Amino acid sequence: MDIGQKLKTARINCDLTQEFVAEKIGVSRQTISNWENNKTYPDIVSVIALSDLYSVSLDSLLKEDKKMVEYLEESTNIVKSKQKLSKLMIILSYMIIWAVSLLVFWSVSEVDAAVYSILVLWLILPAVTLVTAALIGRNFESNKKWLWIIFFGVMYMLSEYLSFSLANMVTFNKMNDPNFSCLIAGCVFSAVGMAIGHLVKSRKNKTIDENKTDL
């Protein structure tokens, strides 16, 4: 028996209408009809929701339906690929903005130190760090994501060291130590952003769990 017939049988056994099921899992009635008639396949999240709603095990729904299993494997791989690309774009976007900020410092003649410091070091980079860290906190799964706080701290310190400090060293031919207060500031900015992203993700997961309970 294919999954469409299993879903239809399970729904009828529970004495539920397609409209009721559609409302419960957040899809249209036509979508439920398409699933039951094998015109389309439900995604893994919907399969789990239907499994809970009908009190039928996932193994029972997926057993012996090779096409459905292949579809879920393919869709899962696509989702994973998109997630990896999304994570890469988050980091790449930050690195581009960071590099451009340094390029502006060295390419624009007679840069106003005060204006650059306020705009770049205390407005643009902190804001970009905060947003990027929040996205990492929301989208990255591993607990190792918190190590990115150190990364952002180092990058913020380098932004000052490779601009003002380096210019000073070139002018006076004197070696300066990195400004570790910038390291701390960068860590603080990123830690706040990471915490915000993590809280948003936790709240979203809590909402999903509550919806599953309602089912």
Tell me the pLDDT of the chain (215 aa) as tens digits.
678 889 999 999 999 999 999 998 889 999 999 999 988 888 877 888 898 899 888 877 776 566 766 667 676 666 677 778 889 999 999 999 999 999 989 887 666 778 888 899 999 999 999 999 999 999 888 788 999 999 999 999 999 999 989 998 998 998 999 999 999 999 999 999 999 999 998 887 776 566 555 55
Q: How far apart are CA 182 and CA 185, in angstroms?
A: 5
pLDDT of res. 139: 87
Q: How far apart are CA 195 and CA 56, in angstroms?
A: 38
pLDDT of res. 107: 86
pLDDT of res. 94: 97
pLDDT of res. 58: 80
pLDDT of res. 1: 63
pLDDT of res. 2: 79
Residues whose CB falls within 8 Å of the CB of residue 135, separated by 6 or more in sequence, listed in order: 90, 197
In 57-179, which ranges are continuous DSSP H helix?
58-62, 66-107, 113-116, 125-139, 148-160, 166-172
Residue ranges and CATH numbers for the domains of the chain are: 3-64 (1.10.260.40), 84-214 (no CATH)
Contact 186, 151 (CB under 8 A): no
pLDDT of res. 110: 64
pTM score above 0.75: no
Give CA separation, 103 vs 37, 56, 100, 119, 161, in Å. 59, 60, 5, 14, 14
Considering only CA atoms, which of 196, 84, 204 is closest in space to residue 131? 196
